Amino acid sequence: MTIMVTKESHPLLVEMFKTIDHDSGKSGGLEKLPKEYEIPDKWETTVQRAEQILGELTPAERQTLAIGERTEMLDICRKNTGCEELNLLFGAYFADWADDDLATTYGMTVEEAKRIITDGQPHATVTYDLVSKVMRTYLEYRLSYVADELARLQREQDDIAARMYDIREDAKQVRVANTPGTRDDILIVVDGTRGIYAPQSFCEMFNFEDFDGIAKEDWDIVLAGPNAEPAEGDTENYYWDAWEEISGNANIVLDPATFTFHTDEKGRLIRYYIWQDGDIWLVPVGLDPESNEDNE
């Protein structure tokens, strides 16, 4: 399986591959450089992070990472473990994705592998994976296990960092409606036949961060359901009180065609509030669902 990257999907990553191709004479001239690149799916996580990592570098640093002297590359990698990960990706690309002998491909000796395990410095997950393979090649199974554990822990840190990045990026997006919405945009979300579980079903269809105007505590109570055990010291679980707070104060901006928020300028974004008459609905703000009048 492979991942396809293009100038549209990964502009900085494609720029790096083209720099390597041109420097190595791989393509026979700039006009013959490919417009898309196939990457083995083992590099999927690296590819997903590539644009973020490369975007933090200057053009000169990106060129160094692609075709610079090894000592200069390592200087950049020491400042950013993500760059170390990309450096391995570019090395694999230069070697036409050779996978028969990774130690030979990357020039990593057993001494270098041991240093990476013990130097106390952070390294990319793929670096620890490579160290593990080198250790197994030399029958150093205990050190191979250590490298696997370091890779696992680094992968967890990478996942946390990626989640933090996503949260920050989401916080930058001001969710503003671009159209008032009409009666045709009223959305039924949960059928009333769900009974006492209807509010819980509603919350299961969204994420807390999709809404404005509500408290996380109320959201968690409703999400836990009407049969959840009361919190310590309480005699009831406050399911209906929490739902009253949510249904009375929540509003959400989304596209009625996709049921999601997006930044596509061509889409329609409407701000909704919750309305319930047995069924649970999303109604455009400013619109009375029991009236025949539309928003201006």
Long-range contacts of 89-97 (CB under 8 A, 24+ apart): 89/39, 89/43, 89/46, 89/47, 89/50, 89/126, 90/16, 90/17, 90/20, 90/65, 90/66, 92/43, 93/17, 93/20, 93/37, 93/39, 94/20, 94/24, 97/39, 97/40
Which has more confidence, 287 or 95?
A: 287
Q: What is the mean pLDDT of residues 139-145?
A: 84
**pLDDT, the chain, mean:** 83
User: pLDDT class for 132, splitting at 50, 70, 90?
Assistant: confident
DSSP string, 157-193: HHHHHHHHHHHHHHHH-----SS---GGG-EEEE-GG
Contact, 165 vs 52, CB < 8 A? yes
Residue 8 has pLDDT above 80, yes or no: yes
Percent of the chain with pLDDT over 90: 24
Per DSSP, the three-state class of 217 is helix
| Contact between 135 and 147 (Cβ < 8 Å) | yes
Determine contact, residues 80/53, Cβ cutoff 8 Å.
yes
> What mean pLDDT comes out for the span 109-124?
83
Q: Closest by alpha carbon to 218, among 241, 252, 185, 194?
A: 241
Q: What is the mean pLDDT of residues 131-150?
A: 84
Sheet with 211-212: list strands edge to edge. Answer: 187-190, 280-284, 270-276, 251-254, 211-212
Q: What does the block give as tokens for 180?
A: 């008032």
Would you say residue 18 has pLDDT above 70? Answer: yes
Reply yes or no on whether the pLDDT at 249 is more than 70.
yes
Question: Which region among 105-114, 149-158, 187-196, 212-221 has the lowest average model confidence (pLDDT)?
Answer: 105-114
Question: CA dist 134 to 70, 122, 194, 236, Å?
Answer: 20, 18, 57, 58
Express each pLDDT in 72-114 by its tens digit: 887 887 777 778 888 878 877 876 665 544 444 445 777 888 8
> H or E stretch including 3?
strand 2-6
The SS3 assignment for 290 reads: coil
Max mean pLDDT among 91-95, 122-126, 194-198 falls in 194-198
Domain boundaries, the chain: 1-96, 100-172, 183-284
> For the residues 11-33, what does the mean pLDDT come to?
73
Residue 274 or 44, more confident: 274
Higher pLDDT: 166 or 119? It is: 119
| pTM for the predicted model, two decimal places | 0.48
Q: What is the pLDDT of residues 204-227, one digit of tens each?
A: 999 888 898 999 999 999 999 999
> At residue 168, does pLDDT exceed 80?
no
- Backbone φ and ψ for 178, nearest 5 degrees, come out as -115, 5
